[in-house]
Amino acid sequence: MNDLGHHSVPEAGGRNRSTAAGRAALRPGESRTGRGIRLAAGCLALLTLIFLVYRPQLPGEFVWDDRLVLHDLNPLISGELTPWSIWFQTDFVLSNFGFWAEWLAWGEHPLGYHVVNLTLHGFNACLIWRLLARLRIPGAWFAAAIFAVHPVAVNSVARIAELKNTLSLFFCLLAFLLYLRAEAAASRTRLAAGPAPGRPEFGWYLAAWLAFLLALFSKTTVITLPVLLLLCAYWQRGRLDRADWVGTAPFFFLSAAFGLMSVWFQQHQALAGATLVPVGGADRLAVAGHDVWFYAGKTLWPAGLSVVYPWWQPAAAGLLAWLPLAGVLGVLLAAWVWRGTGGRQVLFGFGAFVVALFPALGFFDAQFQTWFQVSDHLQYLPLIALVALAASALAAHLPQRVQVPLLVLVLTGLFALSSQRARVFATNETLWRDTLAKNPGAWMAHNNLGVILAKQNHMAEAREQFALSLAEKPGNPAAEVDMGFALAAQGDLAGARAHFQAALASGPANADARAGLAAVLAQSGQARAARTQYQVALQIEPRVGTRLQFANLLYQTGDYTECARQYHQVLNTAPEQLEPLNNLAWLLATCPEELVRDGAEAVRYAEKACALTHYKQPGMMGTLAAAYAEAGRFPEAVKTSEQAIQLSEHSGNERFAAMNRQLLRLYQAGRPYHEASRPGKPTG
């Protein structure tokens, strides 16, 4: 099952021919069928390990930014973009397609999303095994198994939002393998007949290029692949040929194009309205050196893992701040000096780790820097390099009889740590409580825990968490807004208003703060001011929830035409949402203004709402009865109203049943129900 016994390494002077041939070696006396069974068994073992490790998380729930990335900010689901117009509009187009397809398949049920992510992680582990085996790196299966159950990977695998990581790595590894196949085919062609047009390796090469393109469309952090290909070529032969540069040139072209696009996207879209702490070039270098050793440490000793780690300030360390960077350069220099012996393996392994980390080292402003300096999910790809280096060193230098017990011991320890970590990611509350236990200064964790407590109606505890968030990071808009909503829920409108205004002072383009302020103004009787705030909030971000609140304000103030228009806009983007379907049907059926009423349209919307609730929701049935009456279909109105009464009585809602009995008498008399006129449009 494993490749612990494969210790052959390419010689310094030339290409390893068995590697160039690109064939996984048959063991003595092993048939091709036997080899196939061995490979299938190895992959099945990796997948089984993964599903056992992550079992404590299942079925799980949407944690952290899962729903935000999956649904709320997905332009394919919101209707902002179409499958034809989304290209080059985000930095993870293919992942958005994946989220869209998963939403259609699984909807609100997290289990399906988790199974997809676990399966992709398993495929990645299998590809790592085959890639390392093709490169004749000792301990290939051992390294793949460590990657499969490594606790650092949990942050990528357990979060639905990080389909971006698992999907991009799958295509990146596939591109690497296909590129090696192309090299192997080119080597066979040279040995057989020399260079010739129409060589068979072109197909493998094109497939590798297309796989890399798909990886970049999944997430642009894989832009370092061309450099990794050159490092691999150097490791194999001890030099780089012209063919290596020519072969990787199209890959570098893709990396440059997508890298520039990602930098632009981060600056002009992802970071729009956000403020990052200014960091000079020297500090960025110092932080990069620190981050390399931080990630290396978590790879080799994955203890104390957290979603949010304390920030490291180079200024506080003085001259010592440069030691981490000096250490990185020192290891690479030493590996170069001793490249003729074991240094080349270190240069390849540690060098690949540093190169793969490059997008996460903070040299360019990125959205993740608004929340954290380092994060486990940022080293999902780099993790492979150090794991492979460590596994190969152990496999190459330990006796065969020691390797299997060591494998079992290491995997058992990692299995236990990852299972515990997966359990942490099972719910939002466990995630943020675990984070605060390890990092009490994590303002984001305080705020997110406060939101959870507020939803549980533990308002006093929620306000305490929001206060702690503001104490750790004064003026942070998220905590200001959430504290405002908590105070508003407890009736402290003046306090809520102050917090919403504080959030707007730090960023006027805060749609949440605008909507919260609008709600407080509406409750305070300042309808005109509330209307203005809702309009600005919708211009910033046209959210369904905000539009529904605005429509309710318009209804309460008697602006029925504009209210109907807002409901229509909601249904254009969310055609099966029950609240706007029911409310618009009721408005079109019962509006005091004749010009707004439309019985046929009211019936259409009400029937759709009732169909979605299987004609079992009394409120929807009452609306449908009113719509039938407005359309002149009184026998149907009477029958539907009687059903609404029965459903209300069955559910114990006597108040609603009594109201429908009054409406039933109208329908029996052949008269529709129209509401009384409300006050005119707001004047102050």
Interval 162-212: pLDDT, tens: 999 999 999 999 999 999 999 888 877 666 655 444 455 788 999 999 999
CATH of the domain at 660: 1.25.40
Residues 531 and 576 in one domain: no
Cα–Cα–Cα angle for 32, 38, 39, rounded to 5 degrees: 90
Residues 536 and 638 in one domain: no
CB 168 within 8 A of CB 213: no
Residue 16 predicted with pLDDT over 70: no
Query: Is the separation of the CB atoms in 212 and 87 below 8 Å?
Result: no
pLDDT digits (tens, 9 = 90+) for 195-204: 444 455 788 9
Query: Do 416 and 444 fall into the same domain?
Result: no
How do residues 538-576 score in pLDDT, each as one tens digit?
A: 999 888 899 999 999 999 999 999 999 999 999 988 888
What pLDDT is recorded for position 2?
Answer: 40
Mean pLDDT of 480-499: 95
Tell me if 379 sits within 8 A of 299, measured CB to CB: yes
For 142-161, what is the mean pLDDT? 96
What is the reported pLDDT for 4? 35
* pLDDT of 297 strictly over 70: yes
User: 204 in a domain, yes or no?
Assistant: yes
Residue 365, pLDDT > 80, answer no
Same domain, 97 and 144: yes
Per-residue pLDDT, 21? 36
Is 383 inside a domain boundary?
no
pLDDT at 81: 79
Query: How many domains, the chain?
Result: 3
Cα–Cα distance measured from residue 218 to residue 216, given in angstroms and rounded to the nearest whole number: 5
Whether 389 maps to a domain, the answer reads: no
Does residue 316 carry a pLDDT above 60?
yes
CATH of the domain at 522: 1.25.40.10
Tell whether 530 and 414 lie within a shared domain.
no
Residue 20 has pLDDT above 60, yes or no: no
DSSP-derived 3-state class of residue 593: coil
pLDDT at 400: 82
pLDDT of residue 573: 80
> What mean pLDDT comes out for the span 518-529?
95
Backbone angles phi, psi at 682, to 5 degrees: -60, 145
Least confident window among 216-220, 237-241, 352-356, 448-452: 237-241
Residue 415 near residue 375, CB atoms below 8 Å: no
Among 66-80, 145-159, 230-244, name the most confident range. Answer: 145-159
Domain membership flag for residue 401: no
What is the DSSP code string of 58-118?
A: -S----TTHHIIIIIT-HHHHSSS-TTT-TTTSS-HHHHHHHHHHHHHHTT-HHHHHHHHH
375 exposure class (CB count in 10 Å sphere: 0-12, 13-18, 19+): middle
What is the structure's pLDDT at 29?
A: 59
**Same domain, residue pair 510 and 626:** no
126 and 170 housed in the same domain: yes
Average pLDDT over residues 440-448: 94
Structural domain contains residue 260: yes
CB atoms within 10 A of CB 104: 10
Q: What is the pLDDT of residue 678?
A: 65
Same structural domain for residues 216 and 113? yes
pLDDT in tens, 652-666: 889 999 999 999 999
Q: What backbone phi and psi angles, to 5 degrees, belong to 76?
A: -75, -35
Mean pLDDT over all residues of the chain? 89
Other CB atoms closer than 10 Å to residue 40's CB: what's the count?
A: 11
Instruction: Give the pLDDT mean for 636-658.
Output: 93
Structural domain contains residue 294: no
Q: Are residues 51 and 123 in the same domain?
A: yes
Residue 44 lies in a domain: yes
Asked if residue 59 has a cis previous peptide bond (ω within 30° of 0), the answer is yes
- 679 backbone dihedrals φ, ψ, rounded to 5°: -60, 155
Domain finish residue from 424, 449, 479 = 424
Same domain (yes/no): 149, 264:
yes
pLDDT at 488: 94
Domain hosting 459: range is 440-541
Are 675 and 630 spatial neighbours (Cβ–Cβ below 8 Å)?
Answer: no
The string over 291-315, giving b where at least 16 C-beta atoms fall within 10 Å of a residue's C-beta and e elsewhere, is bbebbbebbeebeebbbbbeebebe
Q: Is residue 9 part of a domain?
A: no
Contact between 569 and 577 (Cβ < 8 Å): no
Last residue of a domain, one of 495, 525, 541: 541
Cα–Cα distance for residue pair 118/329, rounded to 1 Å: 36
Choose among 508, 457, 446, 445: nearest CA to 485: 457
**Same domain assignment for residues 534 and 583:** no
Across 16-42, average pLDDT: 64
456 and 420 within one domain: no
pLDDT digits (tens, 9 = 90+) for 102-129: 999 999 999 999 999 999 999 999 999 9
